[in-house]
Amino acid sequence: MNVLVVGRGGREHSLVKKLAESNQLTNLYAAPGNGGMQEEAVCIDIDEMDIEGLVAYAKEASIDLTVVGPETPLNAGITNRFHEEGLAVFAPTKEAALLEGSKSYAKEFMKKYDVPTADYAVFTNAEEAKAYIEEKGAPIVVKADGLAAGKGVIVAMTKEEALQAVDDMLVSKAFLNAGATVVIEEFLAGKEFSLMAFVHENQVFPMVTARDHKRAFDNDQGPNTGGMGAFAPVPDVTREHLDFSMEQILQKTADGMISEDRPFTGILYAGLIMTNAGPKVIEFNTRFGDPETQVVLPLLKNDLIQVFTDVLNGKDPELVWEDQSCVGLVLASEGYPGSYEKGVAIPQFNESASTFIVHAGTKQAEDALVSDGGRVLLVGSKGPSLDACANDVYGLLEKANVSGDFFYRKDIGKQ
């Protein structure tokens, strides 16, 4: 098969790595790809938002299957256009992707279909939003309604922080149209975990759990980011928790989307939190998580092309997982998630049999790889335990003599 991966980040490189293992693969392409993908895929210079360009290329290159990584083309209707041209694509339609594209839609959906989540209210008026915060107090969570690259969520521990977040979103338009509506939610205490599933209409096939670390600095300090690292599976999530999450969250959501006449095909990602009342939904994504994908896919034993094909054809892919752990740590540009320098030479790593490197914000400059984004690389390890993997990853980073141009957290995967 000829397969095309749409996107340029670490998630897409992880998909490329897994797809490259398939014996069903003829040619593998990435559009636009990044500096590190060139070993496994042919990188095509088409932006992920150039939907007409991608459709034309898929026809010209006889692409048999397209897998879409990022959320923005999904919400712009890339799947709908591929369907119109009779092209196979593993990704939700624009209508189904609204579950991620609008947090207010997602909250209303969960309320309607009795999917466990935090109490909330939706506002477009800053004064009304502030009055609600004054009434409820802190801690409280303020979210931009639309897509904000994982950064439109403020967990406000004080009322002042929450009021500032409302000003930033509704008055200063820090997130442009994404923040023209805000969702204000009850703060839920507990440990977070991610559960992704391959979905086709009412069929749901869950993956192993992962835990992402959003805050920039150790001990969950500093601003929210797109994710500073992750590990899988999560040892404190029990079989009972998983069964509950599958039945009361993922299955209810898949069934509800059919009732809404928005049938879902693709990856459904539930960002969950373990409360005293059991798992509740913090957010839905309608695509592979980043960086969770980078630690989940290495544990999948199946041929990923076969999984996609089976799911699209309404068959059980019979997922098989390795009885191992995986830890991934993001190497980020100094200054991220604020402003940072690009074009910095990337450290050299001497990988062992158990470690791997996933590229995110990198590009080829003459004969060298240089940084081209906030999250530059993910350094990963697969092994018998989380501690063994964490030791592997940190050992590799220490030997690489990472300069002050980059930083990473020192506490991920250490139990």
Equal fold, 2-93 vs 119-186? no
Which pLDDT band holds residue 122 (cuts at 50, 70, 90)?
very high
Determine the pLDDT at residue 247: 97
Which pLDDT band holds residue 414 (cuts at 50, 70, 90)?
confident
For residue 377, what are the contacts with CB-CB under 8 A and spacing of at least 6?
10, 36, 330, 331, 346, 357, 358, 359, 360, 362
Does the domain spanning 327-407 belong to CATH 3.40.50.2000?
Answer: no
**Residue 361 and residue 375 in contact, taking contact as beta carbons nearer than 8 Å:** yes
State the pTM of this model: 0.94
Which pLDDT band holds residue 366 (cuts at 50, 70, 90)?
confident
Determine the pLDDT at residue 171: 84
Considering 128-137, 138-147, 326-335, the range whose residues carry the highest mean pLDDT is 326-335
Which pLDDT band holds residue 354 (cuts at 50, 70, 90)?
very high
DSSP assignment of 216-259 equals EEGGGEEEE-S-SEEEES-TT--HHHHHHIIIIIIIHHHHHHHH
| Residue 151 pLDDT greater than 90, yes or no | no
CA distance 357 to 294: 10
User: Which of 84-88, 219-223, 240-244, 359-363 has the weakest average pLDDT?
Assistant: 219-223
CATH number of 191-312: 3.30.470.20
Q: What is the mean pLDDT of the chain?
A: 94
Which pLDDT band holds residue 175 (cuts at 50, 70, 90)?
confident
Does the domain spanning 119-186 belong to CATH 3.30.1490.20?
Answer: yes
| Residue 305 pLDDT greater than 90, yes or no | yes
| Residue 371 pLDDT greater than 80, yes or no | yes
- Per residue in 287-301, pLDDT tens? 999 999 999 999 999
Instruction: Note every long-range contact of 393-399, with CB atoms under 8 Å and residues 24 or more positions apart, other chains counting.
Output: 393/327, 393/328, 393/329, 393/355, 394/329, 396/349, 396/350, 396/351, 396/352, 396/355, 397/329, 397/331, 399/349, 399/350
Determine the pLDDT at residue 147: 81
Give the rounded distance of the alpha carbon of 227 from its chain centre.
8
| Residue 173 pLDDT greater than 90, yes or no | no
Name which of 391, 114, 142 is nearest 255 in CA terms.
114
Question: What is the average per-residue pLDDT within 374-397?
Answer: 96
- Per residue in 245-277, pLDDT tens? 999 999 999 999 999 999 999 999 999 999 999
Name which of 122, 118, 142, 123 is nearest 271 in CA terms.
118
Which pLDDT band holds residue 150 (cuts at 50, 70, 90)?
low
Angle among Cα 297, 301, 307 to the nearest 5 degrees reads 75
Determine the pLDDT at residue 177: 74
The secondary structure element, H or E, covering residue 28 is strand 27-32
- Per residue in 12-69, pLDDT tens? 999 999 999 999 999 999 999 999 999 999 999 999 999 999 999 999 999 999 999 9
Which pLDDT band holds residue 223 (cuts at 50, 70, 90)?
confident
Question: What is the average per-residue pLDDT within 310-321?
Answer: 98
| Residue 391 pLDDT greater than 80, yes or no | yes
- The DSSP output letter for 171 is I
Residue 221 corresponds to which tokens in the numbers above? 């300090």
Question: What is the average per-residue pLDDT within 4-12?
Answer: 97
Question: What is the average per-residue pLDDT within 79-89?
Answer: 98
2-93 CATH fold: Rossmann fold (3.40.50)
Q: Tell me the percentage of the chain whose pLDDT exceeds 70.
A: 98
Determine the pLDDT at residue 352: 86
| Residue 415 pLDDT greater than 80, yes or no | no
User: Which of 204-208, 231-235, 411-415 has the weakest average pLDDT?
Assistant: 411-415
Structural domain spans, the chain: 2-93, 119-186, 191-312, 327-407
Pairing of strands 325-333, 375-383: antiparallel
